[in-house]
Amino acid sequence: MKTQQAMIDQAKSLLKKLLEDGEATAVFGLARGMGGVTAPRIFTMPDELDSLVLEPKWPLAKPAMEILRTAPGGYRLAVVCRGCDERALVELIKRNQVDADALVMVGVACSGEQASICLCDRPYPSKLDIGEAAHGVDPFDDPGVKYLLEGDTHTRMGRWERVLKRCVKCYGCRNSCPICVCDPCKLEGEPWVRRGIIPTEILSFHLIRAFHLADTCVACGACQEACPAGIPLVTLQHAMRRALREGFEYEAGLDVNEKTPVLFDFIQAPEKDRPIPDWINTLRD
Amino acid sequence: MTNSITDLAGSKCIFIIGSNAAESHPIIMGEIYKAMDAGGVVIVVDPRRTAVAENAHIHLAIEPGTDIPLLAGMMRHIMDEGLYNAEFIEERVEGFEEFRKFVEGWTVEEASRQCGIEPSMIRRVAEIYAKADESAVVYCMGITQHVCGSDNVIALCDLTMLCGHVGTEHSGLYPLRGQNNVQGACDMGALPNVYPAYQPVADPDIRAKFEEAWGRPLSDKPGLTVVEMVRSAGSKIRGLFIMAENPALSEPDVNHVVESLRKFDFLVVQDIFMSETARFADLVLPGSSFAEKDGTFTNTERRFQLVRKAVDPPGSAKDDFSILCLLGNALGLNFNYESPADVMSEINRLAPPYGGITYDRLERQGLQWPCPNEEHPGTRFLHQGRFTRGKGLFVVPNHVAPKELPDEDYPWYLSTGRMFAHYHTGTLTRRAKQLDREVSRPYGEINSEDAAKLGVGEGGAIRVTSRRGSIVVDAKITDRVRKGSIFIPFHFAEARANILTNPALDPRSKTPEYKVCAVRVEKGES
Amino acid sequence: MDCRFVRTTCPFCGTGCGMLLKVVDGRVVDTLPDRESVVGRGHLCIKGWSAHEFVHHPDRLTHPLVKKGDSFERISWEEAISLAAEKFRGIAEQYGNDAIGGFSSAKCTNEENYLFQKLIRAGFQNNNVDHCARL
């Protein structure tokens, strides 16, 4: 296992080279600034990368997308990506929100410790440039996740109601989600969600969000980390992701060319127990 | 506040009174949820079933303006059952005997009769607060904006001292301050009776120190408050300088305030927008927003934090520091500061509790005062082992009923406050698309039974009238307000809630009684 | 394209959450929570997330304005400052120093509040300085 410093050194030299060779116009990552405080930074000069760090976790996919949206033509952004950042950017490319040619992803592995904090089953990007892949964690082994997903409907509803009622409607989950890009956003307008009052209708707000992201969520945890009320939002998504894996053998964010089954599988053969009536074959040409 | 925001997460009992933290201080609410998840009990006292009340273990929906009766009832039960902290009182507090007489003048039943809460609930809540290892009290404007607001605060202080719930990590008193730098404005002496760090203007030694530092003779007479200055417009006060305040919306009985603003011989308003107040100015100076200047704000937990310049002010607008320097120099005051950091070094010298607060040290996570020197790490919680004044002092609170209660002509209770998407007079938040989308029109919350009686549906117009004026707002029908009560947020210039409010003041703090006045509610013409 | 993230403190309530302003080519275009801030710890409320929205609003005041009849006219900073100083000095001479007062601001910085109370106290030898702490 490489030390943190060795990983940083490796990242610096790799990223410096990208800037020097003109492979990237700028690098997007974390910098340690005055007082030892870490914040996202756009590095445009190789020397600036001296302040680069890789920790703590700071989801960068969404800000990276937003930078690319306003960037001039020909701009290429190298982004320091954890596994979840990479998967989020893959989803954004699929949805034409990010131009793959304007993006250079530099993959960094997460530590095993980070994986257990995030309940991440895949704490590394598919293209791993820096560090070694740690073992993932099965989120369904977590007692907190079990508590909310097990038991009968009534029990689960009661448990979810208690946590969802705390929502202060900051929209932090949406704002920090790399996949939430709809404009206009369904959460903003009636009749879906009543405006101007909290607690908001607990089902509409959070279930609209959960279903909207059902086949794109990469479980990066940005929503939950941004929630001031501590609502375990990723747990909802773990359940959705499991359903997709079990029913369709699909997982978001792994392959730019793999389409979502939710939108595309309905064109396949009809269900066996619902045969198409015979008269259909008697129709004229 | 005595402690720090994150200390709340470790409290075993949080007693929230007169605060709708879920809407006004959502991030602090998050710490309260953490305490709940760790097994803490949350008790909420509020006439409205607010979002905080919805999420609490116990909600006591008291009659408006009966906080002292409730607290007195609780304290009576704590005394009767011997649940008070005799050791703490003996060691650290004075005035217990007289205070005991006050408490013994109350019974739980009498308290119940006045505040409308069942005696058994008063007892239960008192026991939870007193018995928990570390209990915290969180309060806000629902406590202070009453004619007996200072006495309400005193009663809360008494309760904490009675149970010894102060001076430890997770106990204490948490007043939640409403504006980003209201703590700092007070700390810096923007008050009529004190210099920076609450040093009295009437103290000759203190005055001499400032006279020497500033090179000017100074007055020993406390000045006038905001409300008093407005009331003295054109008589005692002729020239007024208003920096980024909007009394035309924020003061009670604003119709009267607007009349007063016209009466000044010369009114200067420095602001970033043409506020309702700036319209009355003779001279308007364009200042800067928080994103256009360097400096510090002090939050509700006494923490100095850096504000950093991100962009230049628009057009020829200037940052407020530069404007004050120009004006100071024009008045012959030698305001030759190079930067706000220069001003901070002067503050370090003249205000002892802030002596160790320098910009370099603020970079990482700010510093909480008292922080008297550069080696001092700042103070996470106050009154550990010893109160600031030495011994704590029990003071007998004096309950005064709200000055204006519902009667035949004005049979409804009105209370005003904030809602989650807007802030203060709306000058800033109503210009944000996201927030305007959430709520763009003035409204009043009424109970569904009242709405049915009035024949008003959701969003229908209602006219609200008090002895001072009348406004029309949209009805928001919700059973979180009680029958016979209406709640109106004060963020909206087109229907100013403060046209209705009563300018009755707490005699000590001069805080207006925004939380209770009497109004009439009718179906309005839309 | 120049793009920076500037660490600062939220301008709304007294909690004082840490935030990052995203600045692109001299304009504040977005607000992000500061995950390193001890206050907020990476959280913001709906108001905090919108903190950048009023900064470049077209209604911003951009020039000193003087009242002429019922409307306002632009004047230069030199004129504005000397007008204010002259008028305040004139009132103090005619009615006494106590006839001047000032409202400082819970929205402004500590340094500005300090200067403001010093301006009133040292400039006019009275203590008529207050702000809306009570409201």
Q: What is the pLDDT of residues A211-255, one digit of tens each?
A: 889 899 999 999 999 999 999 999 999 999 999 999 888 999 999
Q: Per-domain residue ranges for chain A?
A: 4-137, 140-256
Which of C21, C83, C111, C126 is the mutation pick for testing B, counting most B CBs within 10 A? C111
> Given a cut of 60, is residue B291 above it in pLDDT?
yes
* Confidence at residue A270, expressed as pLDDT on a 0 to 100 scale: 59
Q: Domains in chain C, start-ordered, CATH in brackets?
A: 3-49 (2.20.25.90), 61-95 (no CATH), 97-135 (no CATH)
3-state secondary structure of A145: helix
Tell me if chain C has a CB within 8 Å of the CB of B251: yes
- How would residue B56 be classed by pLDDT, with cut points 50, 70 and 90? very high
> Given a cut of 70, is residue B304 above it in pLDDT?
yes
pTM, two decimals, is: 0.93
Least confident of A149-158, A267-276, C106-115: A267-276
ipTM: 0.97
Residues of B in contact with A37 (CB under 8 A): 363-364
What's the pLDDT tens digit per position in B65-102?
999 999 999 999 999 999 999 999 999 999 999 999 99
* Cα dihedral A75, A80, A82, A87 in deg (nearest 10): 10
What's the pLDDT tens digit per position in B339-367?
999 999 999 999 999 999 999 999 989 99
Sign of the torsion formed by the C-alpha atoms of C38, C40, C43 and C48: negative
> Given a cut of 80, is residue B518 above it in pLDDT?
yes
Which of C25, C79, C127 is the mutation pick for testing B, counting most B CBs within 10 A? C127
Nearest to A118 by CA among A90, A154, A144: A144
DSSP 8-state code for residue C123: H
| Residue C134 to chain A, least CA–CA distance (Å) | 26
Q: How far apart are the first and last CA of chain A?
A: 68
* Confidence at residue A285, expressed as pLDDT on a 0 to 100 scale: 59
From B26, B51, B438, residue closest to A228, measured CB to CB = B26
- How would residue A271 be classed by pLDDT, with cut points 50, 70 and 90? low
> Given a cut of 70, is residue A268 above it in pLDDT?
no
Least confident of A61-70, B1-10, B147-156, B429-438: B429-438
- How would residue A276 be classed by pLDDT, with cut points 50, 70 and 90? confident
| Residue B525 to chain C, least CA–CA distance (Å) | 31
What's the pLDDT tens digit per position in B170-195?
999 999 998 999 999 999 999 999 99
> Given a cut of 70, is residue A269 above it in pLDDT?
no
- Is the Cβ pair C3, A67 closer than 8 Å? yes
- How would residue A186 be classed by pLDDT, with cut points 50, 70 and 90? confident
| Residue A97 to chain C, least CA–CA distance (Å) | 18
DSSP 8-state code for residue A108: B
> Given a cut of 80, is residue A266 above it in pLDDT?
no
* Confidence at residue A261, expressed as pLDDT on a 0 to 100 scale: 82
Residues of C in contact with A172 (CB under 8 A): 33, 43-44, 49
- Residue type for position B24: S
Q: Per-domain residue ranges for chain B?
A: 5-176, 182-368, 412-523
- Is the Cβ pair C80, B328 closer than 8 Å? no
For B412-523, CATH number?
Answer: 2.40.40.20
- Is the Cβ pair A197, B476 closer than 8 Å? yes
* Confidence at residue A106, expressed as pLDDT on a 0 to 100 scale: 97
Distance CA C129, CA C97 (A): 13
**E-only strand ranges, B50-184:** 58-60, 93-94, 135-139, 172-175
Which whole-number Å values give the CA distances from A177 to A60, A62, A181, A219, B265, in the listed order?
Answer: 10, 7, 8, 10, 54
**A87 versus A281: which is more confidently predicted?**
A87
* Confidence at residue B146, expressed as pLDDT on a 0 to 100 scale: 93
Residues of B in contact with C57 (CB under 8 A): 273, 431
* Confidence at residue B249, expressed as pLDDT on a 0 to 100 scale: 85
> Given a cut of 60, is residue A1 above it in pLDDT?
no
* CATH code matching the domain that covers B5-176, chosen among 3.30.565.60, 1.10.10.410, 3.40.228.10, 3.30.70.1150: 3.40.228.10
* Confidence at residue A5, expressed as pLDDT on a 0 to 100 scale: 92
Stretch B451-472: mean pLDDT, rounded?
A: 95
Stretch B302-320: mean pLDDT, rounded?
A: 96
> Given a cut of 60, is residue A267 above it in pLDDT?
no
The percentage of chain B sitting over the pLDDT mark of 70, rounded to a whole number, equals 100
* Confidence at residue A282, expressed as pLDDT on a 0 to 100 scale: 78
Which whole-number Å values give the CA distances from B390 to B91, B92, B155, B200, B393, in the listed order?
Answer: 11, 8, 20, 19, 9
Distance CA B70, CA A159 (A): 33
Statement: B182-368 belongs to CATH 3.40.630.30: no
Stretch B371-400: mean pLDDT, rounded?
A: 92
- How would residue B253 be classed by pLDDT, with cut points 50, 70 and 90? confident
Q: Answer whether B499's CB lies under 8 Å from B471's CB.
A: yes
